[in-house]
Amino acid sequence: MIKIILKRGREDSILRFHPWVFSGAVAQVQGHPEEGDIVAVHSSDGKFLAAGHWQIGSIAVRILSFDSDVTAPDFWETMISRALSLRKSVGLASSGTSGTDCYRLVHGEGDNLPGLIIDYYGGVCVMQAHSAGMFRARKRICEALRNVYGDSLKAVYDKSSGTAPFKAGLDLVDSYLWRRDDFADDEQTVSENGHKFFVNWTSGQKTGFFLDQRENRALVEKHSSGRKVLNLFCYTGGFSVYALAGGASYVESVDSSKKAVEMVERNVALNGFGADRHKSVCADAIDWLKNVPEGKFDLIIVDPPAFAKHRGALKNALRAYQRLNASAISKVAPGGLIFTYSCSQVVDKEAFALAVFSAAASTGRSVRILDRLNQPADHAVNIYHPEGEYLKGLFLYVE
């Protein structure tokens, strides 16, 4: 294994189990690692600290292990079994009874596997590598998934072309790493809290479905009875289906993606709801909201894509969150509810709350925070890597 020697005094963060080594902390590289090679990180006095994937850029190493076990033949089986145990321990991956057969199996640093995302959809694993190391390990990861899940696994699909770095000259084409002879579909019907959804990992966004809103959708279901619901940035209609199941008198779903809106229609029908209570609209949600009559809706969901993908975009993103939320707050009926989210990792929960606070203030309405919302347990946050917390939301009451 190629050795990376840190500068004196720069081992502290690794000793506190932070999973990244920044390039500025590296004193010496003994050899010529290729991007994605496994390297050993040593302190300036020669002690082994950790092993991980070598990377070109400001993060030089993404740590896979603080022991030397990364080269053990069953390393991937061990890591995937540990990830699965966590999901089982919160009732997500236990067969049959929970009404949910889809979950995030691997959440990067949250599962001590930086750069790797794996979502599980009723027997199909969809992986996204965010690093060259994970991309290069994909066949081994696939093998480990087969060994851990056994006969219940139907397919493993690699969808890394949009996420893995291209620098390593890797051949990035999304493809099945493996699939069972009797499984030929690109789509699967999954259950989430007893509700059914079509998930298409080849044509859908990200891995096909937004699993991180599972619990927030259940909260919307609980508060939808008799209400008129506006679901902005609805994607494939997760919140809409729950709202209809919760007894909403009417649900309007808005997304700018035509493919997403077609999926909403299919998902609403799949759950047995008719067009009498649901309408979907393909439009820019921000413009659409401007033309919504005041007081028409008494529950509004605001779940936009990440407005800030990096620090440099933070200021503009906060302004965009502020404007969008001000618009929702001003439009909701008196006594109405708003569920508002941000999935931008660089916008922390204080900054988001401040943006929503200034949005509320600009409308002059009386607004109360009923709850603060998060990502669910299968999107676990590594305590040594708080940056892994990305989804935040507020549940508001507008008088």
The residues binding ligand SAH (CB under 6 A) are 205, 210, 213, 233-236, 238-239, 255-257, 260, 284-286, 303-305
Q: How far is the CB of 283 from ligand SAH (least distance, A)?
A: 7
b/e 201-234 (16+ beta carbons within 10 angstroms → b): beebebbbbbbbbbebbbbbbebbeebbbbbbbb
Q: Which is nearer to ligand SAH, 93 or 260 (CB)?
A: 260
Separation of alpha carbons 372 and 370, rounded Å:
7
- Closest approach, Cβ 242 to ligand SAH, in A, equals 9
Q: Judged by CB, which is closer to ligand SAH: 43, or 213?
A: 213
Q: Could you tell me if 302 and 342 are in contact, meaning their C-beta atoms sit under 8 angstroms apart?
A: no
List 157's β-bridge partners, or say none. 126, 176
Give catalytic status of residue 102 as yes or no. Answer: no
Determine the Cα–Cα distance for residues 398 and 299; give it in Å rounded to an integer.
10
Residue 320, number of CB atoms within 10 A of its CB: 18
Query: Of the two residues 163 and 236, which places its CB atom closer to ligand SAH in the complex?
Result: 236
Total Cβ atoms within 10 A of residue 150: 7
Token couple for 231: 């679901």
Amino acid identity at 37: D
Nearer to ligand SAH, 65 or 280 (CB): 280
In whole angstroms, what is the distance from residue 103 CA to residue 380 CA?
12
Residue 308 contacts residue 322 (beta carbons within 8 Å): no
Q: Rounded to 5 degrees, what are φ and ψ at 186?
A: -105, 10
226 or 305: CB nearest ligand SAH:
305
Is residue 54 within 8 Å of 133, Cβ to Cβ?
yes
**CA-to-CA distance for 342 and 215, rounded, in angstroms?**
15
Nearer to ligand SAH, 102 or 285 (CB): 285
Q: Least distance in Å: CB of 34 to ligand SAH? A: 35
The total number of residues written for the chain in this structure: 399
In the bound state with ligand SAH, the residue whose beta carbon lies nearer, of 49 and 391, is 391
Give the pairing of strands 59-65 and 48-54.
Answer: antiparallel
| Nearest distance in Å: CB 206, ligand SAH | 8
Of 102, 142, 234, 343, which residue is the catalytic one?
Answer: 343
User: Are 145 and 126 in contact, with CB atoms under 8 Å apart?
Assistant: no
Residue 179 beta carbon to ligand SAH: minimum distance, rounded to whole angstroms: 25
The answer to whether 2 and 39 have CB atoms below 8 angstroms apart is yes
Q: How far apart are CA 144 and CA 75, in angstroms?
A: 9
Identify which of 57, 58, 39 has the alpha carbon closest to the alpha carbon of residue 48. Answer: 39
Q: Cβ 332 to ligand SAH, closest distance in Å? A: 17
Q: What is the DSSP letter of 333?
A: P
Q: Least Å distance between CB 275 and ligand SAH?
A: 20
Residue with tokens 């619990």: 215
Would you name the residues annotated as active-site residues?
343
